[in-house]
Amino acid sequence: MTAAILRVSYTESGGFAGLVRSCRLEAAALAAEERALLEQLVAAAGLTASCECLSEQSRDSRTYEIVIEWETIQIHTVFDEPSLPAEVRPLVGFLRERARPGMPT
Amino acid sequence: MRDSGPSCGRQPLSCIIPPFLLERMAESGDAVARRRAVVDLAQATAVYAVRDLVRSMPTFLATPSPGCCRDRLVYDARGRDDLPGRLARREGDRPGKDPAVNEAYDYSGATYDFFHTLFGRNSLDDAGMSLISSVHAGEADGEGYQPMNNAFWNGSQMAYGDGDGVVFERFTRSLDVVAHELTHGVQSFTSNLVYRGESGALNEHFADVFGVLVRQWHQAAAATKGERPPRSWLVGAELVVPAQTRRAVRDMQHPGTAYVDDPLLGTDPQPAHMKDRYRGSADRGGVHINSGIANRAFVLAAEALDDEPWETAGRIWYDAMLEIPSRAGFEDAARITVRIARDEHGAAVAKAVRAAWKAVGVTVPAARKPR
Ligand SMILES: [Zn+2]
């Protein structure tokens, strides 16, 4: 089922190089096929609560910040490479392909 | 060996749902959510205790070397992320055909030698810990694995990717990158600066300082008379695929200029002065961004002194790295380095260090004269 409102903001930062890349996707502005894929990946990621999951010991791991606005719900998650759940990786892969250098606007 | 990679709430050591949110869920009318939140709250309390223990006792993560001194182990992760992988070269083995294995071996040796020769330090833990490196590390992308476009220290070993070949070459190509990762290891056994905000930027700063000093020291030792390369404060110059818009990953002398308007990297975000410091949440509060401020202070101090950077300035920063509190900020770092400079090297050196920090916007009050 298609959500009335789905926005996803993504910021990837850190890593040894400290590069920042980001994107903000509005499902309604995407082509039907891409929109369906985004909805599917968001659902499969299973992010049901805001959380910050960062490794205490790791240094120079990449950090992934994902904000999902779905209808009236907003979920804000922060992971790093060691803590990124397997089920979220396909969504991150999708977002990484669309991210561009720089902070989110 | 890698940190565990769980979903929130399943593996509490690396996973923190904010306590306020858990408390709200615990008060929820939904029985399942309430039960889950109560369990998570109980786990969170235990987790903080474990995390504090890990922070205060990193030595239990160390792999002791079989002998008394330098002991290198280089593994081939074969494009996967389950570290360390297959052993490819151990201490004393002859070089093989794989340049990444040989670079990890040689450069971790150079880093060991630097800390041992100049500061009498016996490995990362100062107790002869084995230096474990994995090369050809991969990263999962949801469908399979691709070459990792990164290098990291995971709390007990180093891992290096082969890069994407477009922006980055293999990460073992730069001695200063290898020494940077190993310096994170030294810090995890000493100050263990909290990896967030200003203390995290200082953690990155010390890793850059000793990364570059190891390279400069190694280049000076290897050069025959008259053939020494000009002093460089670039980090990761050998790592980047050459292009007109990029020349390194960072420039300690001129932060913010390592790459400019690069179509794939953008523009180097490092500030060179406190007035321009990054205040956002990305990169754990800018640990790789605001480190530029302290990096420039170090270069200004080192260049103001009339010896090699690893001598007086390096010694001051090494002593500071050992004693700085884990939650220190830039003002603390400035105060501590100025005090060490004054106590160990005299008023003229202290004046140069104080001036260096002042030039980047960090002021250290002059010591009061005794009455
Ligand atoms: Zn680092």
Tens digits of per-residue pLDDT, B92-131? Answer: 999 999 999 999 999 999 999 999 999 999 999 999 999 9
Chain A residues whose CB is inside 8 A of the B9 CB are 49, 51
B88 and B27 in one domain? no
Residue ending a domain, choose from B39, B61, B83: B61
CB atoms within 10 A of CB B329: 16
With cut-offs at 50, 70 and 90, classify the pLDDT of residue B225. low
Q: Which member of A21, A50, A84 has the closest CB to residue B5?
A: A84
Q: Which member of A51, A57, A82 has the closest CB to residue B54?
A: A57
B208 and B118 in one domain? no
Integer Cα distance of B112 and B128 in angstroms = 10
Q: Do A61 and B152 touch (CB under 8 A)?
A: yes
Residue of A nearest to B290 (CA): A18
Q: Do A14 and B149 touch (CB under 8 A)?
A: no
pLDDT in tens, B271-312: 999 999 999 999 999 999 999 999 999 999 999 999 999 999
From chain B residues 132-161, the ones with a CB under 8 A of any chain A CB are 139-143, 149-156
Q: Where are the domains of chain A?
A: 6-101
- Is B2 at the interface with chain A, CB within 8 A? yes
Single-letter code of the amino acid located at B43 = Q
In angstroms, what is the span from residue B154 Cα to ligand 1's centroid? Answer: 11
pLDDT in tens, B6-46: 334 333 332 333 333 344 334 444 444 444 444 444 444 34
The CATH number of residue B81's host domain is: 3.10.170.10
B78 and B54 in one domain? no
Number of domain units in chain B: 3
Q: What is the pLDDT of residue B4?
A: 36
Q: Which member of B17, B156, B204 has the closest CB to residue A49?
A: B17
As a whole-number percent, the residues of chain B with pLDDT over 70 amount to 80
In angstroms, what is the span from residue B229 Cα to ligand 1's centroid? Answer: 25
B319 and B227 in one domain? yes
Integer Cα distance of B344 and B346 in angstroms = 6
In angstroms, what is the span from residue B215 Cα to ligand 1's centroid? Answer: 16
B190, part of any domain: no
Instruction: Give B53 or B339, the one with higher predicted confidence.
Output: B339
**Residue range B179-193: average pLDDT?**
98
Residue of A nearest to B157 (CA): A58
Residue ending a domain, choose from B103, B138, B173: B173
B146 and B93 in one domain? yes
B295 and B210 in one domain? yes
- Is B47 at the interface with chain A, CB within 8 A? no
B213, part of any domain: yes
B181 is catalytic: yes
Q: What is the pLDDT of residue B241?
A: 98
B183, part of any domain: no
B147 and B249 in one domain? no
In angstroms, what is the span from residue B94 Cα to ligand 1's centroid? Answer: 30
B327 and B303 in one domain? yes
Interface test with A, best of B10, B13, B15 (most A CBs within 10 A): B15
Instruction: Give B12 or A20, the one with higher predicted confidence.
Output: A20
B202 and B166 in one domain? no
The chain-wide mean pLDDT, for chain B, equals 86
The CATH number of residue B322's host domain is: 1.10.390.10
B42 and B17 in one domain? yes
Domain span at B88:
72-173
Residue ending a domain, choose from B61, B82, B97: B61
In angstroms, what is the span from residue B127 Cα to ligand 1's centroid? Answer: 23
Q: In b/e form, how buried is each residue of B207-240, taking b as 16+ CB within 10 angstroms?
A: bbbbbbbbbbbbbeeeeeeeeeeeebbbbbbbbb
With cut-offs at 50, 70 and 90, classify the pLDDT of residue B69. confident
B369, part of any domain: no
Residue of B nearest to A102 (CA): B266
In this prediction, does ipTM exceed 0.90?
Answer: yes
Chain B residues whose CB is inside 8 A of the A90 CB are 142-143
Interface test with A, best of B1, B10, B11, B14 (most A CBs within 10 A): B14
pLDDT in tens, A27-67: 999 999 999 999 999 999 999 899 999 999 999 999 999 99
Q: Do B287 and A14 touch (CB under 8 A)?
A: yes
Q: What is the pLDDT of residue A4?
A: 75
User: DSSP alpha helices (H): ranges in chain B?
Assistant: 19-26, 31-56, 99-119, 175-188, 197-222, 282-286, 291-304, 312-323, 330-345, 347-359
- Whether the CB-CB separation of A49 and A37 falls below 8 Å is answered with no
- In this model, does residue B357 exceed pLDDT 80? yes
B80 and B33 in one domain? no
In angstroms, what is the span from residue B73 Cα to ligand 1's centroid? Answer: 21
pTM value is 0.87
Residue of A nearest to B208 (CA): A16
B230 and B330 in one domain? yes
B301, part of any domain: yes
Burial of A50 (0-12, 13-18, 19+ CB in 10 A): middle
Integer Cα distance of B127 and B111 in angstroms = 15
Q: What is the pLDDT of residue B227?
A: 79
